[in-house]
Amino acid sequence: MVNGSPEALFFSAIPPEGISRNTLKEKLGIETFDIGSKAAAKNKWIAFDKDLVKRKVESVEDEVKNLLTRINNGEVVSDQVINDLKRRKLIVKQTWKGYSLKRGPKYVSKRKKAATDLTREHIVSGDWKNQEFKEYNVNAEAPAIQVGYLHSLLEVREEIQNIFLQMGFEEMPTNNFVESSFWNFDALFQPQQHPTRDSHDTFFLETADRTKDLPEDYLEKVKRVHEFGGYGSKGYGYDWKRDEAEKNLLRTHTTAVSTRMLYALAQQETFTPKRYYSIDRVFRNEAVDRTHLAEFHQIEGVICDRGLTLGDLIGVLEDFFSRLGMSKLRFKPAYNPYTEPSMEIFSYHDGLQKWVEVGNSGMFRPEMLLPMGLPEDVNVIAWGLSLERPTMILYGISNIRDLFGPKVDFNLIKNNPICRLGI
């Protein structure tokens, strides 16, 4: 640009009598010719007459070159000018960072290493007076300490366990995944031809496939109530088979444990009311999908006391689920072979903006309780839900495989926030 802007070069290359385009092009070169011609024409310095290029003014002021010189001398020019020259790629923005160094108040020629701690020696020697102490960087990140993390399921299990304990429940011993068909089905007055009792729904054992110890007298009562009823029931009227009851399986619900506990309770001299809970694994030979595996953790609450009613069940469900943060409940009549009446429990989930099925419940049938030997006026209310569903919803996990099984991502566990239910 030292020799001037393209348009100024273009103009000054035109003799007073004019000149042909091509001659001018050769003279200036194609680039200066193209840029110069446009700008000179725009500045109404020149005119084209067919192949001839002619001057329209005597002389011109190379404003562009002047501006560039002024900018070069650090002069400030208007934004308009800057933008024009930028658009014509005649200038580019460059940012320089300059630092001015000058002595600070604490300048010393030789810096004494700042002490990180005030030690006994400093005190004794007294040199703490002119010792520089390093500032404490209170924002420094603490070194990440490698600690163990509770799996999200166990986080939620602990919260739900605390709710049961706060409500005066005691935990049932669920340390037996293998159960006999007797305690898992028959004792619950579930008929032997019930669809869930075939291998499509239940995992039966091939080895150790039969149980040896069943309480004989109680077994007789169970047989009779299935076959002929009693206690006001007409029973199922089918031929009950002992060997069906002896089949071992992977328990399909922790209600099997509730049955054992209620039978044990009935054997006591005097009846004492009880509140039991269980949270442990159950197995169902079901189609595996995004929210179902062949096993899940069942949560169960059981209350056994004289004169309990459906109202008591609804009341304790309101209490239990409100502690889980679910206050709006609705109950839908349902059917279980071992409870009558039975209810599915629904809660309105604000986050999901919809009613969610949050469990099942009912009053255990007399055909189940009375053969055990529980007093006539004792009723047992119970309910159940899964541990996986609330955990998936609370932690926003859409696929159960991300929660349970080989594909679990440890970082998810590590970074999962503390589970605070009901808050």
CB 24 within 8 A of CB 33: yes
Q: Which of 222, 386, 400, 419 binds ligand FB9 (CB under 6 A)?
A: 386
Angstrom distances, CA of residue 157 to CA of 213, 280, 287, 297, 386? 32, 9, 25, 9, 10
Helix (H) and strand (E) counts in the chain: 15, 12
- 383 is a contact residue toward ligand FB9 (CB under 6 A): yes
Q: Does 389 bind ligand FB9 (CB under 6 A)?
A: yes
The single residue among 32, 152, 255, 278 that binds ligand FB9, judged by CB under 6 A, is: 255
Asked if residue 317 binds ligand FB9 (CB under 6 A), the reply is: no
Q: What angle do CA 125, 129, 132 make, to 5 degrees?
A: 105
What is residue 325's three-state secondary structure? Answer: coil
Contact call for residue 182 and ligand FB9 (CB under 6 A): no
Distance, in Å, from the CA atom of 346 to the CA atom of 385, rounded to the nearest integer, reads 11
Cβ contact 1:90 at 8 Å: yes
**Residue 190 binding ligand FB9, by CB under 6 A:** no
* Contacts with ligand FB9, 132-151, as mask; x by CB under 6 A: --------------------
Using the contact rule CB under 6 A, the part of the chain among 15-23, 81-89, 175-183, 382-390 near ligand FB9 is 382-390
How many residues bind ligand FB9 (CB under 6 A)? The answer is 23
Among 263, 384, 397, 413, binds ligand FB9 (CB under 6 A): 384
Q: Is residue 357 near ligand FB9 by the rule CB under 6 A? A: yes
Closest CA to 54 of 4, 102, 18, 11: 18
The reply on whether position 359 binds ligand FB9 by CB under 6 A is: yes
Residue among 189 and 383 whose Cβ is closer to ligand FB9: 383
In the complex, the smallest distance separating the C-beta of residue 165 from ligand FB9, rounded to whole angstroms, is 19
Determine the residue with CB nearest ligand FB9: 384
Residue 3 buriedness (CB in 10 A; 0-12 / 13-18 / 19+): exposed
By the rule CB under 6 A, 393 interacts with ligand FB9: yes
Q: Which positions from 325 through 354 interact with ligand FB9, judged by CB under 6 A?
A: 326, 336, 339, 349
In this structure, is the dihedral angle defined by the CA atoms of residues 405, 407, 413 and 417, taken in order, positive or negative? negative
Contact residue for ligand FB9 among 40, 53, 172, 394 (CB under 6 A): 394
Contact 122, 115 (CB under 8 A): yes
**Spatial CA neighbour of 272 closest among 284, 261, 283:** 261
Rule CB under 6 A: is residue 261 a binding residue for ligand FB9? no
Whole-angstrom distance, CA of residue 6 vs CA of residue 63 = 11
Q: Is 9 in the site for ligand FB9 (CB under 6 A)?
A: no
The distance of closest approach from Cβ of residue 115 to ligand FB9 in the complex, given in angstroms and rounded to an integer, is 54
CA distances from 139 to 117, 135, 136, 144, 146 (A): 17, 11, 9, 14, 20
- Residue 305 binds ligand FB9, judged by CB under 6 A: no
Question: Contact residues for ligand FB9 (CB under 6 A)?
Answer: 255, 298, 300, 326, 336, 339, 349, 356-362, 382-386, 389-390, 393-394
